[in-house]
A and B are shown apart, each in its own frame.
Chain A
Amino acid sequence: MKRALIIVALAAATVAAGRHGTPLQQAPKETAAIANPLEGSENARLAGRKLFERECAYCHGPNGEGKPGGAPPLKRPDVCSAPPGALFWVLRNGSLRGGMPSFAHLPEPERWQIVTYIRSLLPEDKHGK
């Protein structure tokens, strides 16, 4: 009986550990693979900046540089080069236990506009570094 309980506890711990990681890493593969329909649109980037300033800047900093004791920076290669679908997934779901709210109340086009802006925070040649 004891052995069975240990096995169940280990299995639960393994499952729980597998679900950890950054919110971006938790995005399902099929969602992460979705392309941004507004990719490359300058209007979308400008609209995304406007939305970012309203919805995200207070925690992540006005240019996504992060805030001490606040939310992590977004102006970094692993975020700016993340698949657009993964960024979109994080905006939709948030990380409620981690303190980031869901932005599902924003219509899909607005969320894609924010994704477009976040990916432009670093120039493309710095995405991979």
Chain B
Amino acid sequence: MRNRLHQLSVLACLSCGIAAAGEGAFFITYTHQMEEPGNLEFANSSVTGAPSGGSGFIGSAAEFEYGVKGWWTTEAYLDGAFSSGQSTVFTGFRLENRFRVLPREHWINPVLYVEFEDINGADKSLLEVVGHDGVDDLKQPVADARKEKEREIEAKLILSSYAKGWTIAENLIAEKNLAHEPYEFGYSLGVSRPLALAASPRPCNFCPENLQAGLEMYGGLGTHADFGLHDTSHYLAPVLSWTLMNGTQLRIEPSFGLTDTSARFLLRFGISYEVAQFGRAARKMFTGGIR
């Protein structure tokens, strides 16, 4: 059994095909693009910042995304955070599922998203901004913040469209801490486009079709008791993604805070790599090729 597990771990690196990573250009905003059935994507999204009056930090999320069906994608995250002069800590995990509602393409395409997260207050991966999340959360000393448990259910309505090479996406977020805290709301919007709409005839890393530029805007919308923009954080973030010939995708996104409660500046960066038909290869290995 241990041998099989070892084989499984190297399977992803050695024996499967590669595919272009399917993350899209955005860090925060989801589109209706689902993971291909059987494909497994590894990704890391990190964010760094230095809030005034607090320690510099790096928050990081390791992502494992798997296409269960054409209409169902599941994903697990492991989060960690490093704070300058303090410590590096594992901050928790998240499990999410996305369900595409309509089987065909329409001018706008809805996807339902459900996530359970079990993280602590030291988490700084900032995968979404909801409620009154703000820069003060990032200044808390790690030792204190770790004591705060955040077991939350999060739901998103993802709406997105592709039009003339543009990707346009809108996400509405509702989050509920299971410890009797109020519902919190947030949003994210994204628009992106490849630098060229047609592929060049030859394989290349630096072809303009491999580069995508875009813009994200995201922030909190208060809670059900005080819904609105008062005392909420909002960010505007230009994003650039680059897909290499071997399928690896690199992304970078400077985020600029728009309100007093926002961090003034955050820098996000990420890498993702997709293994084609990992599920089939793993099944074959465990069943000895018998279907």
Contact = CB atoms under 8 A, between A and B. Distances in A.
The yes or no verdict on A and B being binding partners is yes
Contacts of B104: 93
B265 interface: no
A71 B242 CA distance: 29
A98 B202 CA distance: 32
Contact of A50 (B36, B199, B277): B199
Interface in B8-24: 17, 19-20, 22, 24
Contacts of B194: 107
A50 B36 CA distance: 19
B136 to A, nearest CB: 38
B199 A105 contact: no
Interface in A95-121: 95-102, 104-105, 107-110, 113
A76 interface: no
Contact of B70 (A47, A69, A100, A110): A100
Contacts of B22: 105
B144 interface: no
A47 B103 contact: no
Contacts of A43: 201
Contact of B202 (A46, A57, A102, A107): A46
A96 B31 contact: no
Interface of A is mostly: helix
B interface bracket (residues with beta carbon within 8 Å of A):
35 or more
A109 B22 CA distance: 19
Contacts of B19: 54-55, 58
Interface string B184-205: 0000000000100111111100
A93 B105 contact: yes
A54 B33 CA distance: 17
Interface in A18-77: 42-44, 46-48, 50-51, 54-55, 57-59, 69-70
Contacts of A110: 197-199, 209
A9 to B, nearest CB: 22
Interface of A: 42-44, 46-48, 50-51, 54-55, 57-59, 69-70, 92-102, 104-105, 107-110, 113
26 contacts: A43-B201, A47-B199, A48-B199, A51-B199, A54-B20, A59-B276, A70-B280, A94-B70, A96-B100, A97-B70, A97-B71, A99-B69, A100-B70, A101-B34, A102-B34, A102-B70, A104-B33, A105-B31, A105-B162, A107-B194, A107-B198, A108-B164, A109-B197, A109-B198, A110-B197, A110-B199
